[in-house]
Amino acid sequence: MTEQRPRMQSRPIVVPLRQGDAVVFAVQRRPVKGTRGIYRVNLRHGVSRILTGNRLTAGIIFHDARK
């Protein structure tokens, strides 16, 4: 994942997983505590390429349909 922080360089985040592990994460924004309080950073994400074996990924999108 990559945090796109305002007025700063983007920060990559690697979530190391072993066989059988799973991760659930927010895909649009996450709160971060800064010097002037809490602010939101945008997240970009992806799945890295594997050289052997199989990987299963599922993307589930939840959104507010009232807009």
For 43, the token pair is 């997240």
pLDDT at 27: 66
Give the span between the Cα atoms of 35 and 53, in whole angstroms: 44
In order, the DSSP letters of 19-53 are TT------SSEEEEEETTEEEEEEEE------SSS
When pLDDT is averaged across residues 40-63 and rounded to a whole number, the result is 78
Average pLDDT, the chain: 78
pLDDT at 65: 64
pLDDT at 49: 80
Q: Tell me the per-residue pLDDT of 22-38, one tens digit each, with 9 for 90 and over.
A: 887 766 777 888 888 88
What are the backbone dihedrals phi and psi of residue 42, each rounded to the nearest 5 degrees, phi first? -80, 145
